[in-house]
């Protein structure tokens, strides 16, 4: 499209703007931000504004006629021009950053965006760029993790208007399942942890007995998340992986060691802020290094897996397990069980020691 040369005007407030027509609709610009220049006529003394306005008109004319993109002021819809794939990916990233996701997840998405755009070198995104990125990972697990995050960004970019889908033929890689090995000596392990660190002990106990995830759901708990009698934990969808509200029973062996504080205080830090996100990961690594009971494949999540096994051995109810684990679908729970190699499903309710 060839744009007619913009006109320079003065509004009722004595501010200079340039106006022009695109597809029979008039647009006005008071500065050059939307055409990638720094010209701002109204930052000058009044007697100089019109002259600077003429410079802005020239910039607008050249920018649009060479194929530049112009977006609306409030909604960022494209008026004219074609956004690059890099811009669409950035829009996708910003959309996710503004969502209710964990800091770790957002940090990973940012890293994926920075790496893929560096590989693109200003070109449009192709499957070759994605393959170049993914080929850096020899581990199937790492390959598939990065692929999932790329897929999130690209699907969001497509929703924002990006036309191509270079992920279409990029398959996940077969990866050997790595299990968080459950405990067959849960009482012995918990006793050892209890003498090592009270915070780690409570975290492990709740991961097992309440089936919450340690690094966010448990670490971020406040006393306000508990019922008055400490019998239940109420977690909003913003606070757990499934995205749904959860009400979790607190077994008596956990309740009896809790000393309730003020509602706004974190149960571990005893302040309004939770401990840093790597706190339990670091603490577990240090404990494991000196432990006589922990095996190589056992992690903090092994307590959650052990709790799941206990529920199944006593209840035989897949629906109860799904609710207790906070899984989004029964299919997730089935996959979880296959990974744990649980052979039989039997009677009753929550984990016991």
CATH topology of domain 186-286+298-340: hpI Integrase; Chain A (1.10.443)
pTM over 0.85: no
Instruction: Spell out the domain ranges in the chain.
Output: 7-80, 85-160, 186-286+298-340
Task: Find all residues with CB under 8 Å of 252, minimum gap 6, and list them.
Answer: none
Predicted pLDDT at 68: 84
Predicted pLDDT at 347: 35
Strands (E), the chain: 7-10, 16-22, 25-29, 70-71, 78-80, 232-235, 246-249
**Separation of alpha carbons 175 and 139, rounded Å:** 8
Predicted pLDDT at 273: 95
Burial pattern 153-182, b for ≥16 Cβ within 10 A else e, equals bbebbeebebeeebbeebeeeeeeeeebbb
Predicted pLDDT at 179: 60
**Separation of alpha carbons 46 and 44, rounded Å:** 6
Strands (E), 84-241: 232-235
| Segments of the chain with pLDDT less than 50 | 339-340, 342-349
User: Is residue 199 exposed (0-12), middle (13-18) or buried (19+ Cβ within 10 Å)?
Assistant: middle
Token readout for 71 is: 């977006």
């Amino acid at each position: 499209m060839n744009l007619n040369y913009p006109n320079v005007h003065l509004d009722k407030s004595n501010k200079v703007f340039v106006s022009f027509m695109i597809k029979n609709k008039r647009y006005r610009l008071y500065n050059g931000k939307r055409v990638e220049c720094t010209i701002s006529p109204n930052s000058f003394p009044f007697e100089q504004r019109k002259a600077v306005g003429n410079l802005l008109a020239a910039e607008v004319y050249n920018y649009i006629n060479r194929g530049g993109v112009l977006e609306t002021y409030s909604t960022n819809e494209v008026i004219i021009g074609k956004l690059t794939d890099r811009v669409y990916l950035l829009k996708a990233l910003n959309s996710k950053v503004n969502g209710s996701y964990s800091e770790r997840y957002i940090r990973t998405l940012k890293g994926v965006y920075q790496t893929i755009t560096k590989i693109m070198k200003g070109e449009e995104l192709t499957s070759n760029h994605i393959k170049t990125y993914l080929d850096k990972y020899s581990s199937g697990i790492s390959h598939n993790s990065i692929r999932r995050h790329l897929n999130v960004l690209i699907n969001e970019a497509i929703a924002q208007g990006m036309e191509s889908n270079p992920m279409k033929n990029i398959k996940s890689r077969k990866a050997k399942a790595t299990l968080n090995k459950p405990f067959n000596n849960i009482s012995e392990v918990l006793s050892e942890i209890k003498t090592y660190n009270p915070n780690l002990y409570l975290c492990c106990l709740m991961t097992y007995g309440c089936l919450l995830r340690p690094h966010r759901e448990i670490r971020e708990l406040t006393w306000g998340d508990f019922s008055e009698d400490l019998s239940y934990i109420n977690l909003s969808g913003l606070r757990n992986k499934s995205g749904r509200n959860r009400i979790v029973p607190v077994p008596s062996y956990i309740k009896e060691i809790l000393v309730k504080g003020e509602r706004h205080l974190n149960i571990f830090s005893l302040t309004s802020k939770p401990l840093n996100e790597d706190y339990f990961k670091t603490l577990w690594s240090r404990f494991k290094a000196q432990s006589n009971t922990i095996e190589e494949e056992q992690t903090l999540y092994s307590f959650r897996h052990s709790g799941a096994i206990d529920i199944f051995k006593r209840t035989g109810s897949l629906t109860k397990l799904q609710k207790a684990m906070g899984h989004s679908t029964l299919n997730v729970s089935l996959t979880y069980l296959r990974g744990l190699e649980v052979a039989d499903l039997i009677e009753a309710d929550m984990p016991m020691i």
